[in-house]
Structure 1
Amino acid sequence: MNQEQFDKVKNGNGFIAALDQSGGSTPKALKAYGIMEDSYSGEDEMFDLVHDMRTRIITSPSFNADQILGAILFEQTMDRKIEGKYTAEYLADKGIVPFLKVDKGLADEANGVQLMKPMPDLDSLLERANERGVFGTKMRSNVLEPNEQGIKEVVDQQFEVGKQIIAAGLVPIIEPEVNVYSDNKDESEEILKNEIQKHLDQLSEDQNVMLKLSIPTVANLYKPLIDHPRVVRVVALSGGYSREEANEKLKENEGLIASFSRALASDLNANQSDEEFNKALKDAVDTIYDASVNKK
């Protein structure tokens, strides 16, 4: 593990950019960026276009290490290059810590949740991540209802895989997302907090994790998790909120920082000039940084 990167993620001011849209969500991300589905044919062309989009973001002067602690990449992005360097290496040279999305998507809903699909090739992916200079990983589950059994299964699975990732020398971001539009979101979050706490208390001193959680309905609900000695950092997803709404909710939570995707890129467009693009990205970075650092 890179100690300098660990210290930056644990103690630095800023947020983590989520640039990890995968195959299923890529058409939606491109459409939001102003590239319609009828303007490309096939997955190869689609992934070329989304890599161009991510390259434009990452190489922008507005995407800077003073405000951005890390960036989460999709597997294909990790294996591609930016200006002759693998993406993780390019980010690290820029002072931004690289993470990798490792899950293969969600299983069908059962017990009010969606577990992660099996990851049979995880060990080889983690080996490649280490070769590419990746610091940590991210994997997402989905909680839809306050079902105690379902939420327990989600957290059990997340920590089981998380320990496999730790054993490979990487820091896992455990992401049991609570759908922000679900009924009784606050009840799900209370159950989730208690289940996560149980697992954190069972980790040994050399096992460290990060958490990526929906911004809680009750402000500072996750403060005990943020303060836990086995937690490197707790970051928040925007979950479909507008950037303004996500920022306002984030400000109410001490110690919680952003890891936004749509809320970061929502004003970016393929047809913008570089000047327009860099300004729109700077505005987004400035406001998300402010919400992550300056609390009410």
Structure 2
Amino acid sequence: MNEKVLNETALAMVAAGKGILAADESTGTIQKRFESIKVENTEPHRQAYRDMLFTTPGFEQYTSGVILFEETLFQKGLDGTPFAKLLADKGVLPGIKVDKGAKDLPGAPGETITEGLDGLRERLVKYREAGARFAKWRAVITIGNGIPSDYCIHTNAHALARYAAYCQEAGIVPIVEPEVLMDADNSIAVCEDVTNRTLAAVFQELDKQKVLLEGMILKPNMVIAGKKCAVQADRNAVAVATLRTLKRHVPGAVPGIAFLSGGQSDVDATAHLDIMNKLGPNPWKLTFSYGRALQAAALKAWGGQNVDAGKKAHLHRAHMNGLAALGKWDAALEKAA
């Protein structure tokens, strides 16, 4: 394990004013996206869509890396350039989603465990040879009646740490993503409690499994009320609760925290990040690793045909989040656009 290279890569992933585009939707997930714009889910369409995103002029000013699905890592752009090289030539780090998705956790109704550890060591060698410099593994923590259980939290934390250790062995920076879902009717206080429990377990396991904190990035949820909750906290309350939770559990040795958007609106995801940076300084860089909150506007504008409109929408959201990562965003910039 080359600690210096891992640390340098992790720092580049959270460079000032830049964040990570999560373009790692599985074939099944991107089908739902394409259905919303009435585009057939074929490999040529997936290739064309991601080519539109990755060839957006200037997006590299606000984007440090892109998480790719396995298919995309080995695909070429429309001009014949491998996507990994196309991104690297722009100074954007190629990354790879390596987990195999969340499956039912035995003996725990309503809870899941993320699979994909079998054969991971060998796959990581192949991914690095293809150009990947970082990876991502998502654990899913569901809030509900009597859940999450300690069993679910600790099982997923253990798997996250095993994945991270394999990545660092292969010279790949792991993005550690424990996502507490925001789909239920829980209050922000319940989300904070569950996020506290989850992060405590994750960092305990990372320590046990000798993961180099300086060579990883954390990708957590923000502390926010469930979407079905009748009382939604204001943006400042979300930012304060999120920072309070992170400061309790995330060591300052971690170079950066790249938030997931988790179903927030585009502007809410940007605004929450901006407030947290305005409340700084913080022990770590705070930035974004958004999927839907970076892509939704671009997907709709593209519609399977309008490449220029899709690129314009993508660049705007990347720019807004780049400003938020510096604490320099303002809602007026959205209106102006």
**Once the two structures are superposed, what CA deviation does each residue of 1:80-116 show, in whole Å capped at 9, x if it has no partner?**
1123332112111111111100011111153763211
In 2, Cα distance between equivalents of 1:106 and 1:135: 24
Q: 1:43 aligns to what? A: none
More displaced 10-residue stretch of structure 1: 161-170 or 103-112: 103-112
The share of aligned pairs that are identical, in percent, is 26
Q: 2:193 aligns to what? A: 187
Q: TM-score, normalised by structure 1?
A: 0.87
SS in 1 for 2:269: helix
Q: 2:204 aligns to what? A: 198
**Once the two structures are superposed, what CA deviation does each residue of 1:115-142 show, in whole Å capped at 9, x if it has no partner?**
1124423223211111112101001110
In 1, Cα distance between equivalents of 2:251 and 2:213: 17
Residue 88 of structure 1, aligned match among 80, 84, 88: 84
Q: 2:179 aligns to what? A: 177
Cα drift, residue 29 of structure 1: 2.1
1:226/1:187 CA distance change after superposition, 3 Å: closer
Residue 123 of structure 1, aligned match among 107, 121, 124: 121
Q: TM-score, normalised by structure 2?
A: 0.77
Paired residue type of 1:264: L
1:18 and 1:259 in contact (8 A); partners too:
yes
1:78/1:204 CA distance change after superposition, 3 Å: closer
1:226 and 1:256 in contact (8 A); partners too:
no
2:219 counterpart of 1:219: no
2:86 counterpart of 1:53: no
SS in 2 for 1:85: coil
**Once the two structures are superposed, what CA deviation does each residue of 1:237-285 show, in whole Å capped at 9, x if it has no partner?**
1111111111122223343211111111111223563432222122211
1:205/1:25 CA distance change after superposition, 3 Å: closer
Q: 2:272 aligns to what? A: 249
2:331 counterpart of 1:262: no
Cα drift, residue 75 of structure 1: 0.1
Paired residue type of 1:237: L
SS in 1 for 2:242: coil
**Once the two structures are superposed, what CA deviation does each residue of 1:124-171 show, in whole Å capped at 9, x if it has no partner?**
321111111210100111001342231111111110121111111111
Structure 1, gaps ≥5 residues long: 41-45
Cα drift, residue 27 of structure 1: 0.5
What is the RMSD of the two structures over their aligned residues, measured on CA atoms? 2.4
2:70 counterpart of 1:75: yes
1:112 and 1:143 in contact (8 A); partners too:
no
2:161 and 2:211 in contact (8 A); partners too:
no
In 2, Cα distance between equivalents of 1:170 and 1:111: 34
1:210/1:166 CA distance change after superposition, 3 Å: same
1:102/1:71 CA distance change after superposition, 3 Å: same
SS in 2 for 1:246: helix
Residue 155 of structure 1, aligned match among 131, 137, 157: 157
In 2, Cα distance between equivalents of 1:22 and 1:263: 17
Q: 1:142 aligns to what? A: 140
